[in-house]
Amino acid sequence: MRLGWCIASLPIVLSLVATIPGTARTAEKDLGHPTIVLKSQKIDLPRGNLKFGGGAPGARAASTYCVMCHSRGMIDNQPPLSREAWKTEVKKMRSAYGCPVSEGLDEELVEFLFQYNHKAASVSSQH
């Protein structure tokens, strides 16, 4: 069993040897194929920590509790939901996923998400 593991890992070891400087040409000849060249890449990811600005009631709660797990971009890209659908979403986040938002903030949070969601939907439909 141990010998099988060693033989099975032999191609991986040979591949690693091929990436060590000075051994690439030898590995190319021995393996009969070009070596893999890994290059560093710079990837710009969307900023996920954006808060909801303004003084609208619920903006602070959304910035505190929604952005705790979701990027604002995810919230920006939701389809237009009804107030009832947002109420269901807020309750689901609390009961199923453990969001610490208190029930006392539900009304202002739901209203904010509804208004914000419909404002974003109307802006995107104009483009």
> Per residue in 7-31, pLDDT tens?
444 444 444 444 555 555 554 556 6
Classify residue 39: in a domain, yes or no. no
How far apart CA 112 and CA 59 sit, in angstroms, is: 6
Q: Which two tokens stand for residue 6?
A: 């060693």
Domain annotation covers residue 70 = yes
Domain residues for the domain of 96 are 59-125
Report the domain count for the chain: 2
Q: Are 67 and 9 found together in one domain?
A: no
Does 67 share its domain with 27?
no
- CA dist list (Å): 88 to 3, 4, 33, 46, 61: 57, 54, 57, 28, 16
Q: Among all chains, which residue has been given the structure tokens 């309750």?
A: 91
Give the tens place of pLDDT for each residue, 63-83: 999 988 888 888 888 999 999
pTM score, whole prediction: 0.58
